[in-house]
Structure 1
Amino acid sequence: MSRVLVTGASGFLGRALLPALVGRGFEVHGIARSAQAAVAGVSWHAADLLTEAGRRLALSVARPTHLVHLAWEARPGRYREDPVNRLWAEASIDLLARARAGGTRRILGIGSCLEYGPQSGPCEERTSQCNPTTLYGQAKLATAEAYIAAGASWGRVFVPFGPHEPQARLIPSLIRSLRAGQEFGCSHGGQLRDFVYVDDLAQMIAAVLGSELTGAVNLASGEPRSLRSVIEHVAGLLKARHLVRFGAVAATGVDAEPILAADVRRLREVTAGLPLVGFEEGAARGLAWWIDRLPGRE
């Protein structure tokens, strides 16, 4: 049986990816910094991947034939310019070298759309010039170059949403405010973004891992939406559009970029025919998940 090691397995994306890999017949090993609750079909190991000892331990206990490297700093409001990005780049490249030396035959690193930087249209893996404007994007890009040079795969995630999403991100923040009967101030909302439901993203990652694709591949829906349309859709599900205040907050930096969208032709080489949830159903499922966990007005 193929054994897959998933770093960052307890995070937002990792939680969704584990069952997708179990469903594909992998023996799944998850790495987290501390002990985790049991997940069917998953063996957990505690390790700090920012240390050499942690990286060595992770690979020795799992002896993976496959590796999905998700672990990185990703806390909203912090991750884009946190100096720890440089440490994660170094650790990730070292993990790659150790995995290759240990016989891991299939490696998929997970990056970000922020590696591309400002674009005038959808990002294409082989033709779009990368000019990241954040430390996070720069560190991810440097890591991507090392992975691609080593013959590994590198997935660039666009805008995931769904259960377990950090509360400070757009959709959870919107739901929390509207459920409390509070006004939600946001930018003008004209920016185009490529939202992808987290369970769909997990299936995409699993499909790429199980394929022979190498190099960069966009992990996205391929269906860009304006932030205004996303906010209005979720607010409409809550019957609270009247509480949204567009233009109340100035968009700056990456948030002001008019478009962050993906060309997904390369991804569809390995996901054609894969049943996906999509935005509308994903938004309904995500909302139901949050409602179960957040206080609302009586």
Structure 2
Amino acid sequence: MKKKILIIGGTGFIGTNLSLHCLKKKWQVTVLSRKKPNIKIKKVKYILADISKIKDLKKKIKSNYDYIINLGGNIDHSSRKKTYFTHFVGLKNILDVVKNLNIEKFLQIGSSLEYEQNKPPHNESMNINQKKLKSNYSKAKFLSTKFLLNNQKKFKFNFIIIRLYQVYGPHQKFDRLIPFVIKSCLLNQKFPCSAGTQLRDFLYIDDVIRGIMLLLKSKKVKKQIINLGFGRPIKVINVIQNIKKIINSGELDKGKIPIRKDESLISYPDIKKVYKLVGWKPKIGLLRGLKYTINHYKKKIK
């Protein structure tokens, strides 16, 4: 029997890749988003709704799904109010609407920024001091995590919170670091960047999708937090230089963009828990992932 999946906020980078993967498995895919997608994927059913408005959601979500994945929320986090309403209030509204549906598993996409005040490597059992969280996004995501865990007895379905790090790959928008650098190099342009001394954890999208699928299907992973990352940090400048080296063009204007004062200089996860539970570990290293990603964008930029 075909599995039915609802991907909330599914028109973005991760949602697009997840939709394509689920279609290959012959699943029935429904995507809910606030705006019409720029490009529609064949065989995907699209629903328009604003997750921050519960009346809107109640009209649109009525069917049962095997799995629901919440990727929803504003990408621009400069507005505290919009970030709070789309990431935290949005989650509460979704849960209120689906609480009586027959769902096998609900997956909330959290963020590595929930650990922004903790020393790496980050593990899922770390205590997080909410008062020390600085960004609008980290606060909203942590409130969402806390709400799910504190109210877990109210939900008859299982749920997982996945904290993602720097995910990259095909279908990501050009305003993100790796696609921006790839585009600049393919066009042989000079482009600004920071000193790039920040250490970050980069994970290729196929590894993320594989992890999500394993966690959805697992019967023993219930009502807990899971980190998904590569587990080893690399300097941002090294990522940029690798892209430039592979493409063999482009010119970086190093130090043009200042590093934010509140930015963590090092961030990466401990991924032992996910390996122990479902046997997941990353398969695609940075250089291979960058080559796959560059090949995708070469077809887009001519």
Same fold (TM over 0.5): yes
Query: Corresponding residue for 2:155?
Result: none
C-alpha separation between the residues in 1 aligned to 2:254 and 2:281?
Answer: 36
Distance 1:182 1:276, change over 3 A: same
Alignment of 1:83-94 (within 5 A): 83-88=81-86, 89-94=88-93
Query: Corresponding residue for 1:228?
Result: 237
C-alpha separation between the residues in 2 aligned to 1:4 and 1:150?
Answer: 23
C-alpha separation between the residues in 1 aligned to 2:151 and 2:283?
Answer: 31
Query: Corresponding residue for 1:14?
Result: 15
Query: Corresponding residue for 2:111?
Result: 112
User: 1:161 aligned to 165, 168, 173, which one?
Assistant: 168
Partner SS, residue 83 of structure 1? helix
Query: Corresponding residue for 2:58?
Result: 56
C-alpha separation between the residues in 2 aligned to 1:252 and 1:275?
Answer: 29
User: How far 1:162 sits from its partner (Å)?
Assistant: 1.3
Give the letter aligned to residue 206 of structure 1.
Answer: M
Paired residues of 1:159 and 1:195 also in contact (CA < 8 A) = yes
User: How far 1:123 sits from its partner (Å)?
Assistant: 1.1
User: 2:226 aligned to 212, 217, 222, which one?
Assistant: 217
% of aligned pairs identical?
22
User: How far 1:189 sits from its partner (Å)?
Assistant: 1.6
User: How far 1:270 sits from its partner (Å)?
Assistant: 4.5
Paired residues of 2:198 and 2:236 also in contact (CA < 8 A) = yes
Query: Corresponding residue for 1:44?
Result: 46
Alignment of 1:277-292 (within 5 A): 277-292=284-299
Alignment of 1:184-223 (within 5 A): 184-211=191-218, 212-213=220-221, 214-223=223-232
Structure 1 residues 92-128: Cα deviation after superposition (integer angstroms, max 9, x where no partner): 1121132122232411111111111133321111125
C-alpha separation between the residues in 1 aligned to 2:197 and 2:279?
Answer: 30
User: How far 1:161 sits from its partner (Å)?
Assistant: 1.0
User: How far 1:275 sits from its partner (Å)?
Assistant: 7.5
C-alpha separation between the residues in 1 aligned to 2:268 and 2:49?
Answer: 34
C-alpha separation between the residues in 2 aligned to 1:283 and 1:271?
Answer: 26
Alignment of 1:116-195 (within 5 A): 116-130=115-129, 131-151=132-152, 152-195=159-202
Query: Corresponding residue for 1:245?
Result: 253
User: How far 1:142 sits from its partner (Å)?
Assistant: 0.4
C-alpha separation between the residues in 1 aligned to 2:237 and 2:146?
Answer: 34
C-alpha separation between the residues in 1 aligned to 2:51 and 2:195?
Answer: 40
Paired residues of 2:181 and 2:240 also in contact (CA < 8 A) = yes
C-alpha separation between the residues in 2 aligned to 1:110 and 1:273?
Answer: 17
Structure 2 residue runs of 5 or longer lacking an equivalent are: 153-158
C-alpha separation between the residues in 1 aligned to 2:30 and 2:54?
Answer: 19
Partner SS, residue 68 of structure 2? strand
C-alpha separation between the residues in 2 aligned to 1:271 and 1:41?
Answer: 30
C-alpha separation between the residues in 2 aligned to 1:233 and 1:124?
Answer: 29
Distance 1:16 1:94, change over 3 A: same
Paired residues of 2:121 and 2:267 also in contact (CA < 8 A) = yes
Higher deviation after alignment, 273-282 or 245-254: 273-282
Give the letter aligned to residue 240 of structure 1.
Answer: S
Distance 1:6 1:185, change over 3 A: same
C-alpha separation between the residues in 2 aligned to 1:128 and 1:199?
Answer: 30
Partner SS, residue 123 of structure 2? coil
Paired residues of 2:230 and 2:282 also in contact (CA < 8 A) = no
Structure 1 residue runs of 5 or longer lacking an equivalent are: none
Give the letter aligned to residue 144 of structure 2.
Answer: T
User: How far 1:290 sits from its partner (Å)?
Assistant: 1.5
C-alpha separation between the residues in 1 aligned to 2:247 and 2:277?
Answer: 36
Distance 1:87 1:125, change over 3 A: same
* Residues 1:28 and 2:29 aligned together: yes
Distance 1:26 1:150, change over 3 A: farther
C-alpha separation between the residues in 2 aligned to 1:245 and 1:35?
Answer: 36
Give the letter aligned to residue 14 of structure 2.
Answer: L
Partner SS, residue 68 of structure 1? strand
Paired residues of 1:185 and 1:244 also in contact (CA < 8 A) = yes
TM-score (norm 2): 0.86
